[in-house]
Structure 1
Amino acid sequence: MVLDGIFGNKTASKVLLHLFHYNEIHSAAIANDYGVAVTPIRMQLERFEKASILVAKNVGRTRVFSFNQKSPFVKPIKAILEIFYNSLTIEEKEKIFSTRRRPREKGKPIYGRT
């Protein structure tokens, strides 16, 4: 992936791309989507937090990360991510971002169950 060369490694690219798509995310969600261990994802999120690219908040026992809107580096990083994101086909986006992150609407049926 071209982002690996820009951001230095695959883990950094995956973290930033997922944040761009979902706006906020936790390490286990990224790890599950890519089928990788949580530890390197969490470590990368923490590195970006130390660099003030990301901010975190606790939601229960989970740390949820999002872009730090006060950082002067976030806007150019998001611009790079947007170029890459817009170059992906719908099939590629569905493959990468297949996990639902929002709660189901109240009263919406769960398909496949009776």
Structure 2
Amino acid sequence: MISTALQDLFGGKAAEAVLLSIFHHGDAYGRAVARDFGVSLDGVQRQLDRFERAGALVCKHQGRTLVYSWDPKSRMAARLRDLTGVVYDGLEAEVKEQLFAERRQPRAKDKPEIRQR
């Protein structure tokens, strides 16, 4: 796990993982964030709840899963997204590939899969 200014500002790896994941994917759910960043699910869920209570994130149900995204009505969320973008843009390409290696979107029906050797 890398360490960025987000971890220093918000006091933990879970906050950093949540912000970077939502910035990269547009939305996220707790188990995926915990798996991608190698942090505890409990810590990620607590951090998602904190950001939601603060008004930076909103959540919606997709089946039994709570999916979080930036609150489009919140000016604070826009500023937090901008701050996260600055940190995200400063990450090296190899680090981004390592953190976000798993696909979240399904592949197109007829698109061939290219495997790396």
Fold agreement, TM-score > 0.5: yes
Structure 1 counterpart SS, 2:106: coil
Please name the residue that 1:34 is paired with: 37
> How do 1:66-105 residues align onto structure 2 when only pairs under 5 Å count?
66-105=69-108
Partner Cα separation in structure 2 for residue 108 and residue 93 of structure 1: 24
5+ long unaligned stretches in structure 1: none
Q: How many residues align?
A: 112
Partner Cα separation in structure 1 for residue 114 and residue 8 of structure 2: 41
Partner Cα separation in structure 2 for residue 89 and residue 111 of structure 1: 23
Corresponding residue to 2:9 among 6, 24, 48: 6
Q: What do the CA deviations read for 1:7-40 (whole angstroms, capped 9, x no partner)? A: 2322111101110000001001001112232111
Corresponding residue to 1:107 among 102, 105, 110: 110
Which aligned runs of 4 or more in structure 1 are off by greater than 6 angstroms? none
Q: What do the CA deviations read for 1:43-79 (whole angstroms, capped 9, x no partner)? A: 1101111111100000011110000011110121111
Q: What percent of counterpart residues are identical? A: 39
Q: What do the CA deviations read for 1:68-108 (whole angstroms, capped 9, x no partner)? A: 01111012111111111111111011011111110111123
Partner Cα separation in structure 2 for residue 68 and residue 2 of structure 1: 22
What's the TM-score once normalised by structure 1's chain length? 0.90
Structure 1 counterpart SS, 2:102: coil
5+ long unaligned stretches in structure 2: none
Partner Cα separation in structure 1 for residue 38 and residue 7 of structure 2: 18
